[in-house]
Structure 1
């Protein structure tokens, strides 16, 4: 058992949390704190929360800290769910912090991981640093604090979004994104998903489709589309998963040559612009055709065959707006132009199919 004791100051902040500040040697910090990287197991279950290291940034910090005049005034934030005891000394906030570790570090680095790593690379200089210690009730609360602390910092938004489904009590703008992030993670890791392993996330860097693009499709649908009503059902999340799963299964089937073995650089079908534009097509087919299965969606999507330029040729958005296929970018203007082009064709086809069903009835004799 290893025990550390530090003179500390306790701040009066949240009634639900204890926050203390103290100074510790880098060698001590390495023994009671560690970095838990974000990852998923074979079943897609999320663990950890920290992004991958940035080697260049760490090297710059290390080189600076090696200088005799170096200072590091910003504290490293370390959260504890166990292993920390606080003994108050007076009413002014002065206290003694005792950190006990039985089987390795017990503190999670919430903020300052690059500084933490750089300090570990200074074997000849035991630098003393400030620590802000936060006592959290459990790991869920720890993740919540990580998201709230880092949401205003320049961390990758995709990492924050991937963590959202595991965190409660968030501001509404983040809470609305949580459902989309959870559904996208399911699309990426569910064995029955048509997009399994294809979505690029921090826990799946080999994916080719940007998670934020699929999240936009889900958020648009949940706000103003077919998922808006589905989500209110007792099995709403399953219904939402199935409709988007079936839709992209149809996309893969109808445009197999433009999908298979392609990347965003070689096909706009798997590019953010194509993914989001097709999300609007999904809504049209779900509304006009009542499409729910991949066969239903395939029927409507087939009207686009021969009229797209996913991997070559030109898009004829208008008589005065012809675009080379690669010129369509992941910007709102291009996404809207592409979506309107696709929707116009799909709507016309749906209208023609309905008319073809009604026309034979007109020749029937009156009763």
Structure 2
């Protein structure tokens, strides 16, 4: 460390991108805590998403720490850091400084002068390893580091998702991060960005019947106690309706112009699911062990029913609530969310599982019951 609180390290600068410099260098185990922090996923008081890392896995950290404190350590598994744009790289002199792929030189990283000051870098990959390294007795163990300059949180999140495509992240963590990144790492993930943003809305909008009931990766301990619906089930349900031409949400997307009428989608979702809550009050806001309506099988099946029900409802009508309730009433007496046995399916209410087979069977049963009820009421 120099007197100016600049950490200097020999480094290689790789010529991958002119917009995002990439450096390879080493830090001592004890220096990682000085330079880099973990951006834990959570939400601020305004409900905005902050961070992107999952919680600490204590058993994993313990296993790494036991190895680090053993004899003859070989630790090639490095860390990936998002560096601030205040880092400076000075190339070495002479013709041998570059081989066309990398340039050797010195990297200067500013570090905080006081322990409470924020650290300059964020750990994008290797947070469990970094925790173990910070607790290791082997303080001067050289640790390989790959660092890229990423001044924005959105860019860090994007790289975090890309880096973790080989070792899959928890699905709910990925879906919650997607609306916050500039570009999704793959077409598959890109398709989930809008549904995940809508799930955010449903969880945070005070007019939503799902407000505070959805489990998200950023939920704190108190929020998790209240939440009963998994966000992944809702994301998949909304994705189906948005992408299928038969989905009631599909017409609200202008594929040619690349625009989406999110306000109308918001209104439709709140109207429909509020009507579901009022139609089945005894089954709403209970954990799936007490109500299959709130489990994945219920959410997916009722979302598919939404595609049929809401095609018969004018969401701009003054009587939209009553009209939606009337449509749901056609199948209400056939539902067994908290007790009894489902007709035709031959399954007790608590044997319905969140599996493709049961989701399909329940969806088809509700669709048939609804279509038959409408046909009977029209005299056909």
TM-score, length of structure 1 as denominator length: 0.91
State the Cα deviation string for residues 72-128 of structure 1 (Å, max 9, x = none): 101100011333111121223112110013433111100000000111112564322
Residues 1-367 of structure 1: matches in 2 within 5 Å?
2-89=5-92, 90-92=97-99, 93-102=103-112, 103-123=117-137, 125-170=139-184, 171-204=186-219, 205-206=224-225, 207-224=227-244, 225-232=247-254, 236-260=261-285, 262-290=286-314, 293-317=320-344, 321-355=345-379
Aligned partners of 1:140, 1:129: CA distance in 2, in Å?
Answer: 27
Q: Cα RMSD between the aligned structures?
A: 1.9
Q: Compute the displacement of 1:209 (Å).
A: 0.4
The answer to whether the 8 Å contact 1:282/1:297 transfers is: no
Q: CA deviation at 1:153?
A: 1.6
In the aligned structure 2, how far is the partner of 1:63 from the partner of 1:245? 51
1:362 counterpart residue number: none
Q: Deviations over 1:154-199 (max 9, x none)?
A: 3202101111111122232211100011110111112221100101
- Cα separation, 2, equivalents of 1:58 and 1:105: 21
* SS of equivalent to 1:14: coil
Alpha-carbon distance change, 265 to 336 in structure 1, aligned in 2, over 3 angstroms: same
**Is the Cα–Cα contact under 8 Å of residues 267 and 315 in structure 2 kept in the other structure?**
no
User: Structure 1 residues 323-332 or 286-295, which shifts more?
Assistant: 286-295
Mapped partners of 2:356, 2:314: distance in 1: 27
CA contact (8 A) 1:189 1:196 kept: yes
Q: Deviations over 1:275-296 (max 9, x none)?
A: 0000011000112344674432
Moved more, 42-51 or 149-158: 149-158
Deviations 1:178-225 (A, max 9, x none): 001111011111222110010111112342101011111111111121
Aligned length, in residue pairs: 352
Q: Is the 8 A contact 2:32 2:134 kept in 1?
A: no
Is residue 81–residue 121 contact of structure 2 (8 Å, CA) maintained in 1?
yes
Which residue pairs with 1:364 in the alignment?
Answer: none
Q: Secondary structure at the match of 1:24?
A: strand
CA distance in 2, matches of 1:350, 1:81: 61
Deviating 4+ runs (over 6 angstroms)? none
More moved, 213-222 vs 287-296: 287-296
Shift of the alpha carbon at 1:69?
1.8
SS in 1 for 2:9: strand
Partner secondary structure for residue 115 of structure 1: helix
Q: What secondary structure sits across from 1:95 in the alignment?
A: strand
User: Which sections of structure 2, spanning at least 5 residues, go unmatched?
Assistant: none
Deviation, 1:305, is 2.4
The separation in 2 between residues aligned to 1:294 and 1:249, in whole angstroms, is 8
SS in structure 1 opposite 2:119? coil
TM-score (norm 2): 0.88
Gaps of 5+ in 1: 357-367
Per the alignment, residue 361 of structure 1 pairs with none
Task: Please give the alpha-carbon distance, in whole angstroms, between the structure 1 residues aligned to 2:374 and 2:105.
Answer: 72
